[in-house]
Amino acid sequence: MSKLPRHSHERRSFLKLSLGAAAAAASLAGAALSFAQGTPARTLRIGNQKGYLNLLKARGTLEKRLAPLNVAVTWTEFNAGPVQLEALNVGSIDFGDVGEAPPIFAQAAGAPLVYVAATVKRPQSEAVLVPPQSTIRSVADLKGKRIALNKGSNVHYFLVKLLRQHGLQYSDVKPVFLAPADARAAFERASIDAWVIWDPFFAAAEKSLGARVLADASGVVGNRAFYFSSQNFAANNPDVIRILIEELEKIDQWGQQNKDQLASELAQLWGVPKPVVDVVVQRQQFGTVPITRAILGEQQQIADTFLELGLIPKHVDVLRAAPSNLA
């Protein structure tokens, strides 16, 4: 096996240091708060993306539920799932939310993750976008084109399946691996031909850039989101995990009945215009469900596809990340 270039090692070292610093800062903030309340017996370190965990953090209901258990809570925000799971792998967080594909890459890298809950399928919340004046009119037109995506994210699998559904292979296109902010900049400069992205970045590109939807994930992939923990934390703190999922379910149920208010709160938390978030919420599917063998079977299909494409170095047995109460 060839050695990684030096700059790859340096980036990984920098990432680990950065994640450690972020977690340390969050822990210090949590420690300062808990000092006045008494030393906590346990600490729950949450890594979150733009989603319901933002609402949970803003409302403070989780902290109230966990206070009688003497559990402190710290928060660190990430812009995508892969770096979030890298944080889990280096021991910087205990819990987080992520799309379908990142856990596969994380398991392949030896991350000690366990799935603890999932959302219902949300295929309309991710799509392939092209500029409004693009000559690309069909998925078949993507052959040979430069397509931006976040490597290892949920849209990675979506792109592979979409191409196959339209008679193309992953090798027929030119992937350009960019984080959402960088991909948007490349999209605006027209230095890429298409962009595969999820909400709220998807909705923002539609509203502010006039991006045209070439295809969303309907009929292609499920696009579930997952809540995960580390195996050690989940095994030693089942009461904390149960409360966490209960609080997330409450927000999910409330949001389904109060979409306008949900959009208002998320717009404020994300710093995104409400009309953009209105689009996100209107196509959002609501529901938090337990992990089942069928759901992990969907994940196994993703793992097998990535192995076939050489995107992961070895076979991943998704069941090794199953919760102890697997249905």
- Residue 169, pLDDT score: 94
Domain ranges of the chain: 6-120+224-321, 123-216
Six token digits for residue 6: 């030096």
Quote the mean pLDDT of the chain: 87
**Residue 200, preceding peptide bond in cis (omega within 30° of 0):** yes
- Residue 7, pLDDT score: 42
Average pLDDT over residues 17-39: 46
Q: What is the largest CA-CA distance in the chain?
A: 63
Average pLDDT over residues 165-190: 95
Average pLDDT over residues 129-134: 96
Look-up of token digits 């392939």: 128
More confident residue, 290 or 23: 290
- Residue 11, pLDDT score: 39
CATH architecture of 123-216: 3-Layer(aba) Sandwich (3.40)
Query: Which parts of 111-256 are beta strand (E)?
Result: 113-119, 126-130, 146-149, 174-177, 194-198, 212-216, 226-230
- Residue 38, pLDDT score: 58
Identical topology for domains 6-120+224-321 and 123-216: yes
Q: Of all residues in the chain, what percent carry a pLDDT higher than 70?
A: 88
Q: How confident is the model at residue 317 (pLDDT cuts 50, 70, 90)?
A: very high
- Residue 18, pLDDT score: 44
Strand, coil or helix: 94: coil
Q: Side chain identity at 265, as an amino acid letter?
A: E
SS (HEC) of 107-145: HHCCCCEEEEEEECCCHHHEEEEECCCCCCCCHHHHCCC
pLDDT tens for each residue of 298-312: 999 999 988 988 889
Length, in residues, of the chain = 327
More confident residue, 98 or 148: 148
Average pLDDT over residues 47-61: 86
- Residue 99, pLDDT score: 85
- Residue 15, pLDDT score: 41
> Minimum mean pLDDT among 41-45, 98-102, 136-140, 314-318: which range?
98-102
- pLDDT exceeds 60 at position 14: no
- pLDDT exceeds 70 at position 185: yes
pLDDT tens for each residue of 238-247: 999 999 999 9
Per CATH, the number for 6-120+224-321 is 3.40.190.10
* pTM, 2 dp: 0.79
Q: Angle at CA 153, nearest 5°, toward 25 and 133?
A: 115
- pLDDT exceeds 70 at position 16: no
Q: How confident is the model at residue 326 (pLDDT cuts 50, 70, 90)?
A: confident
